[in-house]
Amino acid sequence: MEKREELYAGKAKSVYLTDDPDRLILHYRNDTSAFDGEKIEQLDRKGAVNNKFSAFIMQKLEDAGVPTHHEGLLSDEESVVKKLDMFPIECVIRNITAGSLCKRLGVEEGMDLQTPIFEFFLKNDELHDPMINEYHIRAFGWADDEAVEKMKELTFRVNDTLTRLFADAGLLLVDYKLEFGRYQGEILLGDEFTPDGCRLWDAETRKKLDKDRFRQGLGGVVEAYEEVARRLGVDLS
């Protein structure tokens, strides 16, 4: 497969066209950003760790019946994916209170929720990804009702699969964000699943092993990602 021009550069990944109109190459860079790009740093090895981490998780999700855009690893920092028509929406599930939920509702971090909470956000950095609901999605035509239902169903299936996968590795899946798109009429999971876009805590100590280490200046960011990857059995070589 031939790599062509850059289509888009996000905060942590660059997306390239290929000679196949239905395939893209994702390049996971070492750039790490928080607070809608206000804080940016380069962290050695992060691109490669996240590339291999996401490939591993996407494969586990495929095995569990969640269709994804992932096709395969191309190099340490690059993967080949199907080219999706993305919805401008983020789907979040929370199992334990943390992050923006605590700020919004004035609740303390670390409360086990009686049932998972599902939330939609609009993908828009300038507006700081505002929370939206299904009425906003319908009224502005960001996705049709069938797609909304499918995104919810798949996001919950991801929760069932990954809470178990992480629990077996002694980890709590606190919350995570997913993005979906359409490919030849089908809704597929796109983007990535890495510790950049989820919260993972050690089940015993509740030590943070995700991007909150970067957001909160706790240090040891990539080391924490590598520890999670090691516990899951991700091949980082």
How near is the Cβ of 23 to ligand 5GP at its closest, in Å? 23
Residue number, 13 or 83, with CB nearest to ligand 5GP: 13
Closest CA to 169 of 195, 145, 139: 195
How many Å apart are CA 32 and CA 20, to the nearest integer? 29
Whether residue 219 contacts residue 213, with contact meaning beta carbons closer than 8 Å, is answered with: yes
How near is the Cβ of 1 to ligand 5GP at its closest, in Å? 27
How near is the Cβ of 98 to ligand 5GP at its closest, in Å? 6
How near is the Cβ of 229 to ligand 5GP at its closest, in Å? 17
Tokens 């950095």 belong to which residue?
A: 125
How many Å apart are CA 4 and CA 20, to the nearest integer? 10
How many Å apart are CA 117 and CA 156, to the nearest integer? 10
Residue number, 70 or 211, with CB nearest to ligand 5GP: 211
Residue number, 31 or 175, with CB nearest to ligand 5GP: 175
**Angstrom distances, CA of residue 107 to CA of 96, 181, 201, 202, 208:** 11, 33, 18, 21, 19
How many Å apart are CA 61 and CA 89, to the nearest integer? 20
Cα angle value 122/225/40 (rounded, 5°): 55
Residue number, 104 or 164, with CB nearest to ligand 5GP: 104
Residue number, 1 or 117, with CB nearest to ligand 5GP: 117
How near is the Cβ of 197 to ligand 5GP at its closest, in Å? 4
Which residues contribute to the site for ligand 5GP (CB under 6 A)? 90, 92, 98-101, 129, 175-177, 196-199, 211
Residue number, 16 or 214, with CB nearest to ligand 5GP: 214
How near is the Cβ of 79 to ligand 5GP at its closest, in Å? 17
How many Å apart are CA 94 and CA 198, to the nearest integer? 10
The amino acid at residue 194 is T
Nearest residue by C-beta to ligand 5GP? Answer: 99
